[in-house]
Amino acid sequence: MPTRSLALTLTATAALLASISPLRAAEPAPEETFLSVPVARVAIDLGEPGPGLADLSFSDHDLQRRDAIVGASLAANLVAGPPLAGGRPEGVTSRIGVVSFELPEGDLLVLGTSFGTDAAVVPGGGQTLVDAPQVRAIIGGTGDRAGATGELVTVRRPDDLYERTIRPELPELPEDLVLEGRLVGDAPADLGATGASPGDLLLHRADLFRDGEPAGERLSVRIVAATEADGPGAALAIVVYRLAEGEIVALGRIPATDMPAPDGAMTRRMAIVGGTGAYAGARGELTLTLLGDGRTENRLAFLRATGAPGPVMGGALAWEEVLAAEDPSGGASVRVAAPPAGDGSPGVAVAWSDRRGAPDASGDRHHLLLAVLPLPDGDLVLGGTFLPGDATDPADTELALLGGTGAYAGLSGILRLTDPAAARLDGEVVTGG
């Protein structure tokens, strides 16, 4: 597998981080709608052969306003389970998806679940259902969209164009939640080298209960970034809580297995980065405790950032390509990395690309990035589009800050790169409160 090195050093002063404002503007921005036109779609049969959990699809769209192309989007969707609501046709599944929209005003990041056809069941699958609105959480942005929250509503029309409506929301503080999870099933997918290795996927589906009564379901995916013979390793976790009042989405760094952490704890802490419905704009911290027998305690605390002390220092990234699929539309690529923190704890980074567009001199194309950095006062979550090769696109000057744990819980804003062409991610934190 090809490996590239990219130094990652994030520096910001305590005074800068302490300037986080707890609220956004007094009024949310107005709704906006644009069309997206499919350009490329790649479907990959992962997990067990044929239809099932872990099947992966990529889609690439041009974005239009008033018949003019103004940007592009890249989406990665992973089949995570059957739809929560019944009555769906055969071959329709729930998918966990992350989408980046590159627009003139800045990037917009979206995360959540949707209904779609399984690529292994339906010819040309991996697509959203026609005339079925899909609502997912806006979890952050860059440029004029720094600190963005709210919902993205997508409707696929019969002519295969997609109407996208951005619904900005002011962050509010829902009541904290305590939910019990009971495992329904899981499914692994062996990416990268055969056997336990970086790139391996594990999907979980659990029923949720509140005060003993059914409350919804939890869908999650664990993507391994580092494995250790005698330790827990590190993985990126994407978790979606689907409740009657809306969805809650969380991102975090967890062990690569369900074994205890080095201190013996069976607790994982992750950042709540957004939601839909009653939870639109939600941020905070998730504490998930493994109780045994497939049961978990899920504590969701909704917070507003009030400051994060101390400098922010990341580690070096060494990318490993764990999936390289080629087809007439260009194929797809998935890379993982585990940047070490100052104390040696591995962070996690995952980058997706469908290999569309002109490559740079090293042959790389833009990737959609999610990363979690272990820092002295908690974990910091980043996202955005960037070029992970030997040279960074000068246009990629920012990544979105999506939240964190500990001192960084509820954080939003951007990481502004100080030298985008230096193959480094040095920068300063600019809060988007």
Confidence of residue 25 (pLDDT cuts 50, 70, 90): very low
Residue 109: what pLDDT? 94
Q: 240-297, pLDDT tens digit by residue?
A: 999 999 999 999 999 888 765 555 558 899 999 999 999 998 999 999 999 888 899 9
Name residue, tokens 């192309």: 69
The DSSP secondary structure of 138-187, one letter per residue, reads EEEESGGGTT--EEEEEEE-TTS-EEEEEEE-----PPPEEEEEEEEEEE
- Confidence (pTM): 0.85
Task: 262-271: list long-range contacts, CB under 8 Å, 24+ apart.
Answer: 262/231, 262/232, 266/290, 266/291, 268/237, 269/378, 269/379, 269/405, 269/406, 270/237, 270/239, 270/379, 270/405, 271/372, 271/379, 271/381, 271/402, 271/403, 271/404, 271/405, 271/408, 271/409
pLDDT (0 to 100) of residue 364: 52
Q: Which two tokens stand for residue 416?
A: 């502004």
Instruction: Kindly give, in sequence order, each residue whose CB lies less than 8 Å from that of residue 217, ignoring residues fewer than 6 positions away.
Output: 81, 84, 184, 205, 206, 207, 208, 241, 242
Mean pLDDT (the chain, rounded): 76
| β-pair partners for 349 | 337, 371
Judged by DSSP in three states, 329 sits in coil
Is it the case that residue 391 has pLDDT exceeding 60? no
pLDDT on residue 220 = 92
Q: Which domains does the chain have, with CATH numbers?
A: 3-21+311-431 (2.40.350), 32-168 (2.40.480.10), 177-302 (2.40.480.10)
Amino acid 139: pLDDT: 93
Dist. CA 135–CA 174, nearest whole Å:
19
> Is pLDDT above 90 for 166?
yes
Calpha distance 127→144 (Å, rounded)? 30
How many Å is the Cα radius of gyration of the chain? 20
pLDDT of amino acid 324: 76
pLDDT at 230: 54
CA angle 21, 22, 27 (to 5 degrees): 95
Confidence label for 64 from pLDDT (cuts 50, 70 and 90) = very high
pLDDT at 124: 44
CB atoms within 10 A of CB 11: 14
User: Residue 390: is its pLDDT beyond 50?
Assistant: no
Q: Poorest-confidence range of 236-250, 297-311, 397-411?
A: 297-311
Q: What is the pLDDT of residues 132-147, one digit of tens each?
A: 889 999 999 988 888 8
